[in-house]
């Protein structure tokens, strides 16, 4: 690579129109196309001598320019990317680092921030593969996150240039950090992203930088906690002797007393029932969109008691479902999800968790004491049979399952479907126990050349027919009523979405053997499940593990556990990638190193 002694100034970083992220995406892509490591470093770190530049270019490679955008939903994000000529072939990853920075900057609960990372590829002028790193904070219409989006667009805190460390060793990382600091770059946070096992070290660019970006990232594959700890300590404000007597130092907020912490935890049941009552009484449906309402008017519309509904609204305001404006209340983006007609409505889930599953959770101690499923103990049968005998309850369960389908958003972009779509005669996707067809409909919609087969019990097949018809895919899907012993043969891609966590290990092995027996040698198996974290970190999977034990008789598992189940069925786990809502997409194929195991008996 060649360098110029006095490089020309680079174009400024993408401007930030009030609401338009598309221009910023397009400008970032053009920036990445026009620059490489050797031309960019002198702009970023003015005054580099030849030796320093040679050192940096030998150990760093310009990887991407990053920006934060604020789509209302995942399809809108993909549409914006496509409008800029940017395509994404892999599912998005959760961004633990940026999510944490946003939560700290805006004093928000990180769990309420849906931040993902996509890296659409951009080819440099020399053909080198680089990327635009897109952080996407989902801001649904009417969400109270609009103020966060406006602030971030104006200040561009997360826009940066990233360089990958080619041979990340602790001593080298420390030396690179020292060299950047010597040229005026100052540490500005960082973190370790467990979803892709990479360490990021952020710096603020020197004031004299002409690169147009205020922040720089060093990305080091792997877990470099010691270097990261030193870097974060250097980013902390230093204490300087004051010129005048200092004011009294601020006191840290007192720690919450243990009794108060426990009391707040014990009132979790009140929260569940408040949300369920709100949904059951259809309060959100009676509140005008983008308008406020007083309790008396809401009571007249819903046939409720004025003082009682006002008390419930105050509690819902504390939970963040409504905002209080004197004596009037307005739905937040979270509260909107309890409307019947809201996109991605979670009303059915509130009714299910505040109804049958709430009752069975009261017998959790029975499950822990005996190992038996509390739902079966309470209702005298398993939840599949119980719901199947009650059409209204079965419909509620199907709709409650659909409430979490946002985890499916990235699935159709998996390379397996892209490859299947290239088959000359079109390929077939088999959705085993596909429920109401929501996932299969998304796959067929995204890939018009694919055909689908959905296997389900008879009552669910009818719901799937309606889903496919609404999605315009009815002519490309066939249906088969049956159970796991009836997995259709000769498909190209098989789906098992939120199925295995319903069952114990023995039944899981039997289900996987049925799939393996039906799959041709070239077929792929994609599995959607929540994975228990290997490091014990907080995860929805841990909560669902208790739920599955108590109400279903199943369990959540770690990736290694699923790998063992697949191996026992003659399948190999090739890898897994994260999905929204702490879910994961596991990819498996028939094993090439062992013979197929005997077919399961009919009883399995």
pLDDT digits over 116-147, tens only? 899 899 888 777 888 999 999 999 888 889 88
Report the candidate in 147, 127, 151, 149 with the shortest Cα–Cα distance to residue 136.
Answer: 149
Asked if residue 401 lies in contact with residue 345, where contact means CB atoms within 8 angstroms, the answer is no
**Contacts from 236-239 at CB under 8 Å and sequence distance 24+?**
none
Find tokens 């228990």 and name the residue. 532
pLDDT reported for residue 250 = 40
Mean pLDDT over 489-515 rounds to 95
pLDDT at 148 over 50: yes
Residue located via tokens 């100052």? 186
Q: What CA–CA distance (Å, rounded) separates 242 from 239?
A: 9
Beta bridge partners of 432: 455
pLDDT at 450: 94
Instruction: For residue 577, give both structure tokens.
Output: 């990638």
Q: Write out 207-258 in H/E/C secondary structure.
A: CCCCCCCCEEEEEEECCCHHHHHHHHHHHCCCCCCCCCCCCCCCCCCCCCCH
Q: Both tokens of residue 473? A: 């895919």
Residues whose CB falls within 8 Å of the CB of residue 73, separated by 6 or more in sequence, listed in order:
138, 140, 343, 344
pTM: 0.57
**Is 466:479 a contact under the CB 8 Å cutoff?**
no
Domains, in order of start, for the chain: 22-235 (3.10.180), 267-401 (1.10.10.10), 418-590 (3.40.50.150)
Residues 6+ apart with CB under 8 A from 173: 165, 201, 218, 220, 224, 227
pLDDT at 254: 52
- pLDDT for res 389: 83
Return the HEC string of 99-129. HHHHHHHHCCCHHHCCEEEECCEEECCCCCE
In this predicted structure, the answer to whether residue 244 has a pLDDT above a threshold of 50 is: no
CB 415 within 8 A of CB 89: yes
Q: What is the mean pLDDT of residues 371-396?
A: 86
What pLDDT does residue 195 have? 66
Least Cα distance to 551 among 403, 350, 400, 379 occurs for 379
Q: Tens of pLDDT along 435-457?
A: 889 999 999 998 999 999 999 98
The residue among 194, 69, 187, 84 whose CA lies nearest residue 137 is: 69
Q: Are 411 and 438 in contact (CB under 8 A)?
A: no
411 touches 526 (CB < 8 A): yes
**CA 536 to CA 542: how far, in whole Å?**
9
| CA–CA dist 409, 449 (Å, integer) | 19
> Which stretch of 3-7, 65-69, 585-589 has the lowest confidence by average pLDDT?
3-7
Task: Residue 163: name the closest of 43, 337, 12 by CA.
Answer: 43
Distances (CA, A) of 158 to 151, 153, 188, 204, 217: 12, 10, 11, 11, 10
Q: What are phi and psi of 394, to 5 degrees?
A: -60, -40
pLDDT of residue 594: 53
Mean pLDDT within 405-426 = 83
Q: Percent of the chain, pLDDT > 70?
A: 90
Lowest-confidence segment of 94-108, 163-177, 248-262 by average pLDDT: 248-262
Q: What pLDDT was estimated at residue 256?
A: 63
Q: What pLDDT shows up at residue 237?
A: 52
Q: How far apart are CA 412 and CA 78, in angstroms?
A: 12
Q: Is residue 386 within 8 Å of 392, Cβ to Cβ?
A: no
What pLDDT shows up at residue 58?
85
Q: What pLDDT is stored for residue 301 in this prediction?
A: 96
CA dihedral of residues 93, 96, 101, 105 (deg, nearest 10): 90
pLDDT tier, 240 (very low <50, low <70, confident <90, very high otherwise): very low
Tokens representing residue 46 in the block:
């003015």
Q: Which residues are CB-contacts of 425 (< 8 A; sequence separation ≥ 6)?
A: none
Region for residue 288 given its phi and psi (left: phi exceeds 0; alpha: psi -120 to 50; beta: otherwise): beta
- Quickly state the pLDDT bin for 236 (edges 50, 70, 90): low
Find the radius of gyration of the CA atoms of the chain. Answer: 27
Between the ranges 26-35, 197-206, 503-512, where is the mean pLDDT highest? 503-512
Q: Taking 60 as the threshold, does the pLDDT of residue 89 lie above it?
A: yes
Inform me whether the pLDDT recorded for 241 exceeds 50: no
Give me the pLDDT at residue 47, please: 83
Count, in order, helices (H) and strands (E) of the chain. Answer: 26, 18
Distance between CA atoms of residues 435 and 457, nearest Å: 8
Tens digit of each residue's pLDDT (9 = 90 or more) over 36-74: 888 898 889 888 887 778 878 888 999 999 999 999 988
Write down the mean pLDDT value for the chain: 85
Instruction: List active site positions.
Output: 501
Angle formed at CA 462 by CA 456 and CA 465, multiple of 5 degrees: 95
d(CA 338, CA 331): 10
Q: Alpha carbon 65 to chain centroid distance?
A: 22
| In the block, residue with structure tokens 């049941």 | 269
């Amino acid at each position: 690579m060649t360098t110029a002694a006095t490089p020309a100034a680079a174009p400024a970083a993408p401007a930030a129109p009030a609401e338009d992220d598309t221009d910023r995406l397009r400008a970032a892509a053009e920036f990445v196309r026009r620059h490489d490591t050797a031309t960019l470093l002198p702009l970023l770190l003015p005054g580099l001598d030849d030796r320093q530049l040679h050192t940096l270019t030998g150990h760093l490679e310009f990887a991407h320019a990053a920006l934060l955008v604020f789509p209302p939903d995942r399809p809108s994000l993909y549409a914006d990317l496509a409008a800029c000529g940017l395509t994404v072939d892999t599912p998005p990853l959760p961004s633990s680092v940026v999510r944490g920075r946003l939560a700290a900057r805006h004093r928000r609960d990180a769990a309420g921030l849906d931040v993902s990372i996509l890296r659409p590829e951009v080819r440099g002028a020399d053909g080198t593969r680089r990327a635009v790193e897109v952080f996407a904070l989902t801001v649904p219409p009417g969400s109270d996150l609009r103020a966060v989006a406006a602030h971030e667009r104006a200040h561009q805190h997360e826009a940066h240039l990233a360089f990958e460390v080619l041979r990340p060793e602790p001593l080298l990382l420390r030396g690179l950090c020292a060299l950047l600091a010597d040229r005026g770059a100052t540490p500005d946070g960082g973190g370790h992203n467990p979803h892709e096992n990479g360490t990021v070290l952020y710096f603020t660019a020197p004031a004299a930088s002409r690169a147009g970006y205020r922040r720089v990232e060093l990305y080091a594959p792997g877990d470099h906690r010691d270097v990261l700890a030193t870097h974060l300590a250097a980013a902390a404000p230093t204490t300087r002797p004051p010129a005048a007597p200092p004011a009294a130092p601020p006191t840290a907020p007192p720690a919450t007393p243990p009794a108060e912490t426990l009391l707040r935890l014990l009132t979790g049941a009140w929260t569940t029932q408040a949300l369920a009552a709100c949904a059951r009484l259809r309060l959100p449906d009676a509140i005008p969109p983008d308008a406020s309402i007083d309790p008396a008017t809401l009571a007249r519309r819903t046939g409720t008691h004025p003082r009682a509904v006002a008390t419930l609204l105050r509690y819902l305001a504390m939970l963040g479902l409504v905002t209080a404006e004197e004596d009037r209340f307005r739905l937040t983006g979270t509260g909107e999800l309890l409307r019947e007609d809201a996109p991605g409505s979670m009303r059915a889930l509130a009714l299910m968790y505040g109804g049958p599953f709430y009752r069975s959770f009261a017998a959790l101690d029975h499950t822990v004491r005996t190992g038996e499923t509390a739902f079966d103990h309470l209702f005298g049968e398993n939840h599949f049979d119980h719901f199947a005998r009650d059409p209204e309850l079965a419909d509620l369960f199907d709709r409650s399952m659909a409430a979490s389908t946002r985890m499916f958003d990235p699935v159709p972009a998996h390379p397996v479907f892209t490859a299947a779509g290239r088959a000359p005669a079109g390929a077939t996707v088999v959705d085993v126990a596909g429920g109401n067809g929501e996932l299969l409909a998304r796959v067929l919609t995204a890939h018009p050349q694919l055909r689908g087969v959905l296997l389900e019990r008879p009552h669910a097949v009818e719901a799937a027919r309606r889903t496919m018809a609404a999605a315009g895919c009815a002519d490309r899907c066939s249906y088969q009523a049956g159970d796991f012993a009836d997995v259709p043969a000769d498909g190209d891609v098989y789906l098992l979405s939120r199925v295995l966590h319903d069952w114990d290990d023995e039944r899981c092995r039997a289900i996987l053997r049925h799939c393996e027996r039906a799959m041709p040698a070239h077929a792929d198996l994609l599995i959607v499940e929540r994975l228990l974290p290997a490091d014990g970190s907080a995860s929805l999977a841990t909560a669902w593990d208790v739920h599955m034990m108590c109400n279903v008789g199943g369990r959540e598992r770690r990736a290694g556990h699923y790998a063992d189940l697949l191996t026992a069925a003659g399948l190999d786990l090739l890898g897994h990638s994260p999905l929204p809502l702490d879910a994961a997409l596991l990819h498996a194929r028939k094993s090439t190193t062992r013979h197929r195991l005997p077919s399961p008996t009919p009883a399995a």
